[in-house]
Amino acid sequence: MKLPKLSLFGFISFFTVSIALYGIGHLFEINSLSFYYYETTSTGWISGGSMYPILIGLFTAFIVMNIQQRTKSQD
């Protein structure tokens, strides 16, 4: 099964933006852009992190796919 090029650009932009934002959050220690985890002995482990990079990545992928679709329909 082949994926359309529109979805390929969307996936690439989603992963690129999300990874870049998580990297920036980790590099500059911005809690709202970073993923972190803590291990505890009483409950096993607790993980936490921000969903902002994922949401911004989804929004970016949506914008990229719409722009790609509009330029493709004009041709």
At residue 39, the pLDDT reads 64
* CA–CA separation, 65 and 23 (whole Å): 24
* CA–CA separation, 73 and 75 (whole Å): 5
* CA–CA separation, 47 and 64 (whole Å): 31
At residue 37, the pLDDT reads 66
* CA–CA separation, 63 and 44 (whole Å): 40
In the three-class reduction of DSSP (H, G, I as helix; E, B as strand; rest coil), residue 44 is classed as strand
Q: What share of the chain is helix, strand, coil (3-state, %, to 5)?
A: 65, 15, 20
| pTM for the whole structure | 0.76
Binned average pLDDT, 10 residues per bin, the chain of 75 residues: 68 94 92 76 72 94 88 75
